[in-house]
Amino acid sequence: MARHFGYTAVFEPAEECGFVVTFPAIPSLATQGETLDEAGAMAEDCLRANLESLAIDGEPAPCEARGCP
């Protein structure tokens, strides 16, 4: 059975250009893109890869305050 997760992503303008994306529930995770669309796609890929890696290692997915049991 597939599990669905939702995480807050924070988009901020980068110093030089583009956007940096961070995830408050996963402080060590960040990515960036030149445009908002690219940053959004990069954020999805980055988050997916992180969650898949945790699952492979048998680690629990981080939870946001609203999503914690």
Please state the pTM of the whole predicted model: 0.84
Task: Tokens for 7, please give them.
Answer: 């995480």
Q: Where are the domains of the chain?
A: 1-69
pLDDT tens profile 7-62: 999 999 999 899 999 999 999 999 999 999 999 999 999 999 999 999 999 998 88
Give the pLDDT of residue 2: 62
- Residues 1-69, CATH architecture: 2-Layer Sandwich (3.30)
- Going edge to edge, which strands form the sheet with 19-22? 10-13, 19-22, 30-33
23 CB-near residues (< 8 Å, 6+ apart): 7, 8, 9, 10, 29, 30, 43, 47
